[in-house]
Amino acid sequence: MKKYSEMSKGELSAVHGELNAKFGGYRKMGKKLNMTRGVPSDDQLALSDGMLTCLSAGDYKAANGADCRNYGGLDGIPEVKKIFADLLDLTQDEVVISGNSSLALMFDNVAVNMSHGVRDGEPWQKQGKVKFLCPSPGYDRHFTICNYFHIDMIPVEMGEDGPDMDFIEKAVSSDPMIKGIWCVPKYSNPTGIVYSEETVRRFARLKPAADDFRIYWDNAYAIHDLGGTYKTIPNIVRLCEEYGNPNMPYVFASFSKVSFAGAAISCIASSKSNCEYIKKRLTAQTIGPDKLSQLRHARFFKDAEGVMAHMKKHAEILRPKFKLVSDTLNRELGGLGIAAWTEPMGGYFVSLDALEGCAKRIVALCAEAGVALTPAGATYPNGNDPKDSNIRIAPTFPPLSELGEALEIFCDAVKLASVEKFLN
């Protein structure tokens, strides 16, 4: 393979002509292929179909005797609290179970801290312009929440072991208006990296200038390994406790990519004391989450071990898709010097860095060819990737054959945009 940077103008023109012709063809074919979002496939959903029918007519009582059909119970039935507590290695009074959307939990948690303050402290919104640190590339919906609440986002560079901790330590200890940071510590969205033990420890021993600084620890892929070695990350709640910051982390987890994406259960985990504050608000806010959905999860999975066994089935389905991404990118783009990408061992995404200034063009070319990708820039605060380089690939939803087609077109788009760059 010859690097594009080492090609002559003539060689580049030849490649350009070839790729242009290919795209002419793609445009005519009118494909409809989708790699936009981290959505489970039909096969994965089918793994949990037993949950549709796992309750019989007389089965509606939780272990504590609660009638799951009726009112009552703000923080989850014991069976489900135990499953989450076991998976997160916490106690049951360190978890609060919620509805089907952990995103809604995060949104609500930011909302309450803005309007009512952390643990009844001075509301963030009354203190001045609130800022969040945003390791980038990151999860676009985290950034959307900040945008919604007019929170300034400070991008933080991501490395192989997590975000730039030197930067974070300095920023957090010097600026009391930095109130939060978004983290996806395991199989980070979109790069797929796993925070190292040292990174997690540095988080736990942060010395924030603001005593109402909080870590939003979105452990969305806590148990979403592709197989092989099961990665573990240190327990942020325990470590924060150990380093004298017991109330600093909010951990979020959900079964959206365990059972049914649209009808699962979610959880916020933190110190027991933080959980008490959360429950206090819930008393004014809601009659409590859907307990029958919780009971279905408890009956279907039985316990944390049942969940882990189930995740192996997800991995069986996902592994070939991630392998196809890796194989295709290596075969088509390897050695050309026009892109770098990650090869995650879990999670839902592959992240690709194209040449600077090429991401938007690649996404546009794909769109013309019928391949929908996450908008370029979406992985950065305010949709602004300063290098216009990062693209998030979401390979989970399409069947393998469609994924293959989409990846072929995608690689051609990366090549074409790169050639155009060299020719201009």
- 142/158 Cα distance (integer angstroms): 16
Residue 288 CB coordination number (10 Å): 17
- 7, 11, 119, 149: which one contacts a second copy (CB under 8 A)? 149
Asked if residue 120 binds a second copy (CB under 8 A), the reply is no
CB of 61 to a second copy, least distance (A): 11
Asked if residue 70 binds a second copy (CB under 8 A), the reply is yes
Q: State the angle between helix axes of 304-333 and 78-88 in degrees (0 to 180), rounded to the nearest 10.
A: 50
- 103, 318, 394, 417: which one contacts a second copy (CB under 8 A)? 103
Asked if residue 261 binds a second copy (CB under 8 A), the reply is yes
Phi, psi of 53 (to 5 degrees): -125, 15
Q: Number of residues interacting with a second copy: please give it, by CB under 8 A.
A: 57
CB of 294 to a second copy, least distance (A): 9
- 28, 128, 284, 424: which one contacts a second copy (CB under 8 A)? 284
Asked if residue 128 binds a second copy (CB under 8 A), the reply is no
CB of 347 to a second copy, least distance (A): 16
CB of 236 to a second copy, least distance (A): 24
The residues, ordered by sequence, that sit 6+ positions from 15 with a Cβ below 8 Å of its Cβ are 4, 7, 415, 419
CB of 311 to a second copy, least distance (A): 17
Tokens of 205: 């021993």
Asked if residue 287 binds a second copy (CB under 8 A), the reply is yes
Residue 406 CB coordination number (10 Å): 26
Task: Write the Ramachandran bin of 368: left for phi over 0, alpha for psi from -120 to 50, otherwise beta.
Answer: alpha
Q: Which stretch binds a second copy (CB under 8 A): 219-227, 230-238, 282-290, 375-383?
A: 282-290
Asked if residue 147 binds a second copy (CB under 8 A), the reply is yes
Segment holding 100, helix H or strand E: none
Pairing of strands 131-136, 249-254: unpaired
- 20, 115, 232, 382: which one contacts a second copy (CB under 8 A)? 115
DSSP string, 243-256: TT-TTSEEEEEEST
Q: Which stretch binds a second copy (CB under 8 A): 107-115, 298-306, 312-320, 341-349?
A: 107-115
Nearer to a second copy, 111 or 177 (CB): 111
- 291, 310, 321, 415: which one contacts a second copy (CB under 8 A)? 291
Asked if residue 125 binds a second copy (CB under 8 A), the reply is yes
The residues, ordered by sequence, that sit 6+ positions from 135 with a Cβ below 8 Å of its Cβ are 155, 156, 157, 158, 162, 163, 164, 181, 182, 183, 188
Chain positions 37 to 66 lying near a second copy, rule: CB under 8 A, are 37, 39-40, 42, 45, 48-50, 52-53, 55-60
Nearer to a second copy, 54 or 177 (CB): 54
Closest of 265, 346, 220, 234 to residue 79, by C-alpha: 265
- 49/45 Cα distance (integer angstroms): 7
Asked if residue 144 binds a second copy (CB under 8 A), the reply is yes
Q: Which stretch binds a second copy (CB under 8 A): 5-13, 169-177, 193-201, 286-294?
A: 286-294
Phi, psi of 361 (to 5 degrees): -65, -40
Q: Which stretch binds a second copy (CB under 8 A): 224-232, 284-292, 325-333, 406-414?
A: 284-292
- 396/315 Cα distance (integer angstroms): 11
How much of the chain is in helix, strand and coil states, percent to nearest 5?
A: 45, 15, 40
- 188, 245, 271, 293: which one contacts a second copy (CB under 8 A)? 293
Contact footprint for a second copy (CB under 8 A): 37, 39-40, 42, 45, 48-50, 52-53, 55-60, 67-73, 99-101, 103-104, 107, 111, 114-116, 125, 141, 144-145, 147-149, 256, 260-263, 281, 283-293
